[in-house]
Structure 1
Amino acid sequence: MPDTPTPHDDAESPASSPSRADLDLVIITGVSGGGRSTVARALENVGYYVVDNLPQALMVTMAELAFESSAEVTRRTAMVLDVRSHAFSVDLTGAVKELRARGFRPRVVFLDAQDDVLIRRFESVRRAHPLQGSGRLLDGIVAERELLTDARDEADVVIDTSHLNVNQLRSRVEELFAVASARSLRVTVLSFGFKYGLPQDADFVLDARFLPNPFWVPELRDHTGREAEVSEFVLGQPGANNFVDDYADLIRRATPGFEREGKRYVTVAIGCTGGKHRSVAIAEALALRLRDAGLSAYAHHRDLGRE
């Protein structure tokens, strides 16, 4: 007679072995000049083994090597892709699908920026765009955007770096990846100023300009929404706390649906005129409400300090 499995046998079954889904795998891509090198360094700071300028054709091979490695350092692996191939879009889409078919659960991060910002960045380093050929910088940027359309649409998180300096981008990446489980939803509550433009990476956009502006209160003008006197002024206005509570409840109720659909990052943008007082105070309060509700949430202030 065949042996009957014992409870001990079950405990040692292959189901208890590490799986490809356990590998914390991040894929970084985006427009040239969008900040991939800065993101690579930030991921190294929080413990990722980073492979920079990896050709798309080697993505699956690299993931398998990281999975098969016995080294603890490769348990968190990030691949920064080289986008200089005209076959990039097909390569990336197909490679990500193959990774998922093999059991991996990669997170794709797309870095974007406005065209005028990209032009300034290339001109400041006197470097040609990799796809411009004999044309202008803008020609290369437009060609690359067309190439990257599918990659951007399928990304788990899009980070607009237009208004971020190197330190701000590094900080945002470290906040996203330092402590969160790869399987949990992360909520970024982003304050911004309408006069500097809408965030391109927002899932929700809220408007805090219905509240009185502390800018017109002389003793508050030079302070920010992160300081107690401004926060108390903003949140003490009629309707302010209801605004925060209602949106916290909306996001909390939507969270199970996001998780069922595999969405791992949500950006809630809150704007006021300059991004210094009202939106900052509301963003801090909303992030706190979401954390109190058991969500992984943090506040990020895009335009604070720009005035």
Structure 2
Amino acid sequence: MTAEPPPTTVPSGIPALEATTPTPRAELPELLIITGMSGAGRTRAAAVLEDLDWYVVDNLPARLLPEVVGMMTRSAGGVQRLAAVVDVRGRELFGDLAEVVDTLRTAGIAYRILFLDASDQVLVQRFEAVRRPHPLQGEGRILDGIAAEREIMHSVRERADVVIDTSDLNVHDLARAVRLAVVGGDEDALRINVLSFGFKYGIPLDADHVADVRFLANPYWVTELRHLTGKDEPVRDYVLGLDGARVFVDRYAFALEPVLSGYVEEDKRYATIAVGCTGGKHRSVALSEALAAVLRERGHRVVVSHRDLGRE
């Protein structure tokens, strides 16, 4: 008789992941544990991950990680990238972290640990700048709290997949370092939304740049084009065939290059380029599509949306 395999044991007080049919590797959720020294930039790192469409949970007790990950694996079409901020604010529960990550590894859950650190001097300066005590300071000094935290964090730092020293980094440098460490360079590019609209419905509130293309003849006054839109070939050909249309698209794209490069340097991740005509149906739609095509040819990540298309 074949002996039954022994059950998987987990540390006391930590829920076991439910035994299920193995999930294909490509469908497993991705887990990033963000931890490190208080004042080293965990909040900023979490915000960067949110901007990259990760689901972020802040101040999660370590022992709840298997439970949250288990919910992710059982959720069809649910969260696939979870970033959990685990730190000494919940110090009574923080000691479970080392055992918890061993449990995750046994269960086949892929995870990485991102550890943020900084020198004692810098951490003291940051706490003094915001006039807040260190969470482990108690009745002592800020340095006492930092020393206590370093002792608690030592074993976790040794396990970290990535350690980022933020001592000499500003918020933009830190954001770039986190993106590079977590997702590489692919998601570091600026995301551009080219948005067509009609001036008679108002300028988009979130537009970073607004281009007015009402200098071109309006296809609305061409009977056979009136019922069509700028996404239809006859209107597109008509608009782009007008004097100045192609020149406008090419020169506007060229003029945007230093602006878009500057956005990347200043850690701006999204930009909305609004292109408007009278009703947002013909000229702005055709030129938005053309502008997006040129920007893509220049290597940018671009989506196109048409705010007022379909309005009467």
Please give the TM-score of this superposition, normalised by the length of structure 1: 0.51
- Report matched runs for 1:74-223 at 5 Å: 74-87=79-92, 90-179=95-184
Structure 1 residues 123-142: Cα deviation after superposition (integer angstroms, max 9, x where no partner) = 00000000010000000000
Q: In the aligned structure 2, how far is the partner of 1:119 from the partner of 1:40?
A: 22
1:52 aligned partner, one-letter code: D
Structure-2 change in CA distance of 1:180 and 1:108 (3 Å): farther
* Equivalent-residue separation in structure 1 for 2:155 and 2:92 (angstroms): 12
Tell me the SS of whatever aligns to 2:71: helix
Select the residue among 37, 40, 64 that pairs with 1:34: 40
Distance 1:129 1:145 in 2: 12
The alpha carbon displacement at 1:16 in A equals 8.4
Residue 58 of structure 1: aligned partner:
64
Q: How does 1:253-264 map to 2 (within 5 A)?
A: none
* Alpha-carbon distance between aligned partners in 1 of 2:39 and 2:61, rounded to the nearest angstrom: 18
Note the C-alpha offset of 1:21: 7.8
Q: Give the total of aligned pairs.
A: 167
Q: Is the 8 A contact 2:59 2:89 kept in 1?
A: no
Shift of 1:178: 3.1
Answering whether residue 79 of structure 2 is matched by residue 70 of structure 1, we say no
Which consecutive residues of structure 2, in runs of 5 or more, have no partner in the other structure? Answer: 1-19, 187-312
User: Does structure 2 retain, via aligned residues, the 8 Å contact 1:21–1:105?
Assistant: no
Q: What is the letter of the counterpart of residue 177 of structure 2?
A: R
Letter in 1 for 2:28: D
Q: What SS class does the counterpart of residue 137 from structure 2 fall into?
A: coil
The Cα of 1:104 is off from its aligned counterpart by 0.5
Q: Say what the alpha-carbon RMSD is for the aligned residues.
A: 2.3
CA distance in 1, matches of 2:185, 2:32: 13
Displacement of 1:44 in angstroms is 1.2
Query: Alpha-carbon deviation of 1:82?
Result: 3.2
Structure 2 CA distance for aligned equivalents of residues 106 and 140 of structure 1: 29
Amino acid at match of 1:68: R
CA distance in 2, matches of 1:83, 1:164: 23
State the SS of the aligned residue for 2:96.
helix
Letter in 2 for 1:137: I
Q: Kindly provide the amino acid, as one letter, of the partner of residue 167 in structure 1.
A: H
Determine the C-alpha separation between the residues in 2 that align with 1:17 and 1:56.
Answer: 23
SS in structure 2 of the partner of residue 104 of structure 1: coil
Q: Which residue of 2 aligns with 1:192?
A: none
Could you say if the C-alpha distance between residues 117 and 57 of structure 1 is closer, same or farther in structure 2, counting changes exceeding 3 Å?
same
CA distance in structure 2 between the partners assigned to 1:124 and 1:149 by the alignment: 26
Name the CA shift for 1:93/1:17 in 2 (closer, same or farther; >3 Å): closer
Amino acid at match of 1:48: W
CA distance in 1, matches of 2:66, 2:26: 12
The alpha-carbon deviation at position 17 of structure 1 amounts to 4.5
Unaligned runs of 5+ in 1: 1-13, 182-307
TM-score by length of 2: 0.50
Call closer, same or farther: CA 1:161–1:21 in 2, change over 3 Å.
Answer: farther
CA contact (8 A) 2:61 2:94 kept: no
Q: Which amino acid aligns with 1:28?
A: I
Listed one character per residue, the Cα deviations across residues 235-292 of structure 1 (whole Å, up to 9, x for unaligned) are xxxxxxxxxxxxxxxxxxxxxxxxxxxxxxxxxxxxxxxxxxxxxxxxxxxxxxxxxx
Matches within 5 A, 1:260-271: none
1:22 matched residue in structure 2:
28
Can you list the C-alpha shifts for 1:204-239, whole angstroms capped at 9, x where unaligned?
xxxxxxxxxxxxxxxxxxxxxxxxxxxxxxxxxxxx
SS in 2 for 1:53: coil
- What's the secondary structure of 1:111's corresponding residue? strand
| SS of corresponding position for 1:71 | coil
Aligned partner letter, 2:124 = I
Distance in 1, Cα, partners of 2:182 & 2:63: 25
* Larger Rg computed on CA atoms: 2
Q: Aligned partners of 1:20, 1:134: CA distance in 2, in Å?
A: 49
Question: What percentage of residue pairs aligned between the two structures are identical?
Answer: 46
> Shift in Å at residue 70 of structure 1?
1.8
Per the TM alignment, residue 86 of structure 1 is displaced from its structure 2 partner at its CA by 3.7
Q: Contact 1:20/1:105 (CA < 8 Å) preserved in 2? A: no
